[in-house]
């Protein structure tokens, strides 16, 4: 075990005990499911059904569009009642296209095909199956898992790492999953190892999850998979931090793990891979943590994708008091919801209903340059200097200080005594730089098109002049010939 000194990070109150005491419960089918076509990073899926169509459980209802995309499947059998826009689980509250599905209560499966003897199959076939099942990173990033597996197979990786850190406060869906479905996770890890042809598999679990660690070590016995404990310090679940803690390898700035012979996936993603390969089951549900002291009951639920957050809370809990803030995901990197009339998607690790006391809202005050944000930054950046430059409008200076290396973990904002919205500033600056790069590419493309037009116009003028010259020459030759015929010598 590599004993690496942890750089930066914070240790916020975990509040894990609110939701990790009881087993995962299964949420019943609601009256209507709202299947978002944008449940993943990349291009939205393209609908394959129309209003009035009857679909079966697991049936493909929307196809992936482009390389970075993922398909969508029906969580149950029923009838398509609408194909329209619906509020997205995003702070903006802007709508996205969804397929509304009315369950028929039969829960009738579509034809599914488990893979027999998967370890005798070509690794690329496993990657293809994972892609067809719509599996994405279930830790929250929602990057299509098949793309990550396929690129790792092509480039070659030595080590597959499974992230069981779950370092965000409140969230316990992975903790409960590791306690209850350890065998399925290990099975998925073995299948993913075959898919990328990795030589070793390491699973990292924070030391504040002793029951999960014990269950996973027992399930991994004899498989060759290493299950290791890592310190419970946020953001241990971040790729760079977990890789360094488990392997001793420090990933270079602006570098992907694959460049260092590594690939990382979430433990819930591994379980989804096992279900797809062994059962033929696409990704149609996920484990969601309900937590926060505004709720009457906290816990973890396996929820069909497309279930409204309001339906889940009304059935599973209700409120003790009016929540001061609603969050999808964790409190550090999750997104604030405009309301609960939003569907559960593949990246919905949790729904938090927090009280005023839990969010402890304070008005920002001037920076006192205490450098706590510098000490907390796990990437070794200078948040106070980057923020100062951004407030002055100099985003290029912030970029020179390493803005692109910021992982948006929120450790700097958490520890700031002035309550400055540092992460918001950094996200704004990243967006501004992205817009400038987009405009620069657009301008360059416009210049290329303008240059091509000038060349085309010049060529057409030249060709026209050459044609006219040829015609004049032909006319002159003809006139000369006619004159010679009229005046024979």
Structure-block tokens of residue 74: 């029906």
**Whether 372 contacts 415, CB under 8 Å:** yes
What are the φ and ψ backbone dihedral angles of 301, each rounded to 5 degrees? Answer: -130, 140
**CA–CA separation, 172 and 350 (whole Å):** 9
For the chain, the domains span 16-23+109-291, 372-432
Under the banding of pLDDT at 50, 70 and 90, the label for residue 90 is confident
Using one digit for the tens of pLDDT, what is the confidence trace for 240-298?
899 999 999 988 877 788 888 999 999 999 999 999 999 999 999 999 999 999 999 99
**Whether 215 contacts 182, CB under 8 Å:** yes
Instruction: For domain 16-23+109-291, give the fold.
Output: Rossmann fold (3.40.50)
Q: What is the arithmetic mean of pLDDT over 182-189?
A: 98
Percent of the chain whose pLDDT exceeds 70: 98
CA–CA distance from 117 to each of 126, 134, 182, 341 (Å)?
A: 11, 22, 21, 43
Using one digit for the tens of pLDDT, what is the confidence trace for 4-17?
567 788 989 999 99
């Amino acid at each position: 075990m590599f004993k690496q000194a942890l750089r930066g990070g914070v240790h916020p109150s975990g509040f894990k005990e609110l939701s990790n005491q009881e087993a995962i419960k299964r949420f019943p089918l609601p009256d209507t499911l709202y299947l978002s076509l944008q449940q993943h990073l990349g291009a939205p899926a393209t609908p394959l059904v129309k209003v009035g169509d009857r679909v079966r459980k697991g049936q493909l209802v929307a196809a992936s569009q482009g390389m970075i995309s993922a398909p969508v499947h029906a969580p149950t059998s029923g009838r398509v009642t609408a194909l329209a826009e619906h509020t997205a689980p995003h702070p903006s509250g802007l709508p996205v296209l969804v397929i509304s599905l009315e369950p028929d209560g039969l829960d009738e499966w579509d034809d599914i095909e488990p893979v027999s003897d998967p370890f005798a199959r070509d690794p690329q076939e496993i990657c293809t199956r994972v892609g067809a099942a719509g599996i994405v990173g279930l830790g929250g990033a929602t990057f299509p898992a098949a793309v990550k597996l396929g690129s790792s197979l092509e480039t070659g990786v030595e080590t597959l790492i499974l992230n069981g850190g779950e370092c965000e406060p409140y969230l316990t869906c992975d903790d409960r999953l590791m306690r209850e479905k350890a065998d399925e996770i290990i099975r998925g890890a073995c299948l993913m190892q075959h898919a990328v042809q990795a030589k070793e598999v390491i699973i990292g679990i924070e030391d504040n999850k002793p029951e999960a660690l014990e269950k996973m070590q027992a399930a991994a016995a004899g498989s060759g998979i290493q299950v290791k404990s890592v310190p419970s310090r946020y953001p241990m679940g971040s790729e760079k931090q977990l890789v360094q803690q488990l392997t001793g390898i420090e990933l270079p700035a602006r570098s992907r793990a694959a460049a260092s012979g590594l690939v990382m996936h979430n433990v819930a993603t591994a379980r989804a891979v096992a279900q797809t390969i062994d059962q033929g089951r696409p990704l149609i549900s996920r484990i969601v943590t309900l937590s926060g002291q505004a709720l009457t009951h906290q816990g973890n639920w396996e929820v069909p994708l497309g279930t409204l957050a309001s339906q889940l809370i009304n059935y599973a809990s209700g409120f003790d008091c009016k929540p001061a803030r609603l969050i999808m995901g964790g409190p550090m990197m999750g997104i604030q919801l405009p309301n609960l009339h939003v569907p559960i998607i593949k990246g919905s690790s949790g729904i938090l209903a927090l009280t005023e006391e839990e969010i402890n809202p304070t008005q920002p005050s001037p920076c006192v340059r205490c450098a706590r944000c510098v000490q907390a930054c796990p990437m070794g950046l200078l948040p106070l200097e980057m923020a100062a430059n951004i407030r002055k409008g100099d985003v290029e200076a912030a970029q020179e200080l390493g803005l692109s290396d910021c992982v948006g973990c929120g450790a700097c904002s958490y520890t700031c005594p002035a309550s400055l919205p540092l992460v918001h500033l950094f996200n704004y600056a990243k967006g501004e730089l992205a817009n400038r790069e987009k405009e620069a590419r657009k301008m360059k493309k416009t210049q290329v098109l303008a240059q091509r037009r000038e060349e085309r116009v010049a060529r057409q003028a030249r060709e026209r002049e050459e044609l006219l010259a040829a015609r004049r020459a032909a006319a002159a030759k003809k006139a000369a010939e006619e004159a010679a015929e009229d005046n024979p010598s």
